[in-house]
Chain A
Amino acid sequence: MRLWGLAEEDRIVEGKEGALILPKTSCDCKTELFDEITALPLAGEALSCDGCGVCTASCPVAEIITGFNPRSFIKTLEAGALDEVQKTAELLWRCVSCQACTHRCPRGVFVEDFLKAAVKVLRRKGLMEKSPAELFDELFTAEVLEYGKVEPVELIFSWLELQGYRVVRDPLLRKPLPFAGEIPPEIKKLVLKPLKGLRLSFVALNAVRLLVHPRSRNWGRVKHVLRKALGEV
């Protein structure tokens, strides 16, 4: 019999204290996990979840990855059963943030925000490894923090480098050279394909942009405040 997911003090434990009888609960539960997640911005709406499954039925990732199930993630984390949470942690980061779940939830749960908040808390508690998605979020955010703007081509190459691809950069400005190095063929094709149709001026402008990273005005001061905000949830 599984009676997991109930608060410690309400759980039924069979046998006398010290007797060699296992409690009826099947595993360790951390009910405070859910409290911590729902304390984060927008994630609190998950308290309204009635488990109807509209999020999972709307989810494009659930169609592809067996076991990816936003409804079950919410309910598992609410119960806090650690063995189930462990399985959840392995899948959770694969959410593509398409918002279809939040769009249709009849209880107004911000499902996507809840999933991202859950990642944050599980990471904080050491219940989850750093995922590639988090690594990319950090890379993206670091570029925004540094310049205020993102240079997509630069971002792509920085990511590939982080993944162990050999990216060739010019020796002076350390800018990636899209034509050289060993990068996935479809990305190379993609970088080169538009050049055929683009006007020469487009190509030239893009090249300049790659050399001089675009930057927002007064970013030095904004950066300071943004960095502080980033540290604060």
Chain B
Amino acid sequence: MKKVLVVGGGPAGLSAAEALAGLGFEVYLVEKEDKLGGLPVKESRYKLFPYEKSPEELLNPLAERVKEKVRVFTGAEVEAVLTDRPPFDVRLTNGETLRVDALVLATGVKSFDPTRKGELGFKLVNGVVTNAQLEAMLARNELKEPGSVAFVFCVGSRDLQLGPSYAHCCSYGCAHAGMLALELKRRFPSARVYCFYTDVRTCSTLERRYYLLPQREGVRYVRGRVARIYEQNGKPVLKFEDTLLGRPSELAVDLAVLVLGLEPSEGTKKLARLLSLKQDESGFIAEEREGVFVAGSCKGLLTLQEALTDGKATALRAALYLKGEKT
């Protein structure tokens, strides 16, 4: 029986592994973290759009199904790929060496480190949090009613000041912030909620739910990128220009939420190196080669929905290859 190793146990990796096992292959899955589920689980996200369910609700059943049919190694990484061509001899950090006929890479992305954007005051200014932190607060019901909240879009994305590899759009932030803004507005109807944007990219069906609806429920969208956040009287003060009015302004809020960008994970960069795969300007994997298939966000950012579908699609491509069909 042909064997496949799926690298990465996030949404794309899990759905690829499930599909491959269902097609009758012997599947291994290696995941760096102790728990399956990838970024949403690791960062304990509150709700994943467009399903608006928690990562556990959404991904645990999938992870359980995978565990039944697939040999899963958690807490381990790929250490070396010993052969250049298939079959691949892959050594894992837990000492295991596997011989597999194909590799599916689903090593995913990580969140931007906001301390690199010093002007936005993360860890320096009281009341500046990341979107993941806000989610954790919402999940645990720890958030006290705020007077005002500002979402700061594009932190660590579309930003060449961080280097040439930060030109890409995170593709989830606008919708995600819209979802959280709406949630805040519903929990605390008298709170003033602002979204500071350059462009709102709630593509396709996300537009209605995460841009139009928040606007209708009183979320104020301000067109201007936040240049600086500093502390005044213990509160974050945002400096920005309302570009539609042409006015530079300042706004003091109780909570400033940084909507973090996503970038290739360490695992993605490592696998690209080990397999000498081309990476694009942002570091995403830009090519596949014989026996190596790439799934999910490690080749460019996808929403959760897209990642789950892409995992399956990649599994099918790998299956066709393993059955000797041209793909």
Q: Do chains A and B touch in the complex (CB under 8 A)?
A: yes
Judge if B99 is at the interface, Cβ distance under 8 Å: no
**Are A57 and B154 neighbours in the complex by a CB distance under 8 Å?**
no
- Most B CB contacts (10 A, CB to CB) among A52, A69, A106, A107 go to A52
**Are B119 and A104 neighbours in the complex by a CB distance under 8 Å?**
yes
**Are A108 and B241 neighbours in the complex by a CB distance under 8 Å?**
no
Min Cβ gap B173→A in Å is 14
Chain A residues near B248 (CB, 8 Å)? 53, 56-57, 59, 62-63, 69
Q: Which of B142-150, B157-165, B181-189, B271-279 contacts A (4 or more CB under 8 A)?
A: B157-165
Judge if A50 is at the interface, Cβ distance under 8 Å: yes
* In the complex with contacts A57-B227, A62-B248, A69-B248, A106-B160 CB distance below 8 A: yes
Min Cβ gap B14→A in Å is 34
Chain B residues near A63 (CB, 8 Å)? 248
The interface size of chain B toward A, counting residues with CB under 8 Å, comes to: 21
**Are A105 and B239 neighbours in the complex by a CB distance under 8 Å?**
no
Min Cβ gap B263→A in Å is 15
In Å, the complex CA distance between A53 and B161 comes to 15
| Contact digits for B212-226, partner A, Cβ 8 Å, 1 yes 0 no | 000000000001111
**Are B226 and A57 neighbours in the complex by a CB distance under 8 Å?**
yes
**Are A54 and B160 neighbours in the complex by a CB distance under 8 Å?**
no
In Å, the complex CA distance between A222 and B22 comes to 78
In Å, the complex CA distance between A61 and B140 comes to 45
Judge if B243 is at the interface, Cβ distance under 8 Å: yes
- Most B CB contacts (10 A, CB to CB) among A51, A53, A107 go to A53
In Å, the complex CA distance between A171 and B303 comes to 79
In Å, the complex CA distance between A14 and B243 comes to 31
In Å, the complex CA distance between A71 and B223 comes to 13
Judge if B228 is at the interface, Cβ distance under 8 Å: yes
In Å, the complex CA distance between A78 and B224 comes to 19
The interface size of chain A toward B, counting residues with CB under 8 Å, comes to: 20
* In the complex with contacts A106-B161, A108-B161, A58-B246 CB distance below 8 A: no
**Are A53 and B241 neighbours in the complex by a CB distance under 8 Å?**
yes
In Å, the complex CA distance between A71 and B245 comes to 12
Min Cβ gap A87→B in Å is 11
* In the complex with contacts A69-B246, A72-B246, A57-B160 CB distance below 8 A: no
| Contact digits for A62-87, partner B, Cβ 8 Å, 1 yes 0 no | 11000001011000000000000000
In Å, the complex CA distance between A106 and B224 comes to 12
Q: List 14 A-B contacts (CB under 8 A).
A: A52-B224, A52-B243, A53-B224, A53-B241, A54-B227, A54-B241, A56-B241, A57-B227, A62-B241, A62-B248, A71-B241, A104-B119, A104-B161, A106-B160
> B residues engaging A (CB < 8 A)?
119, 154, 158-161, 198-199, 223-228, 239-243, 246, 248
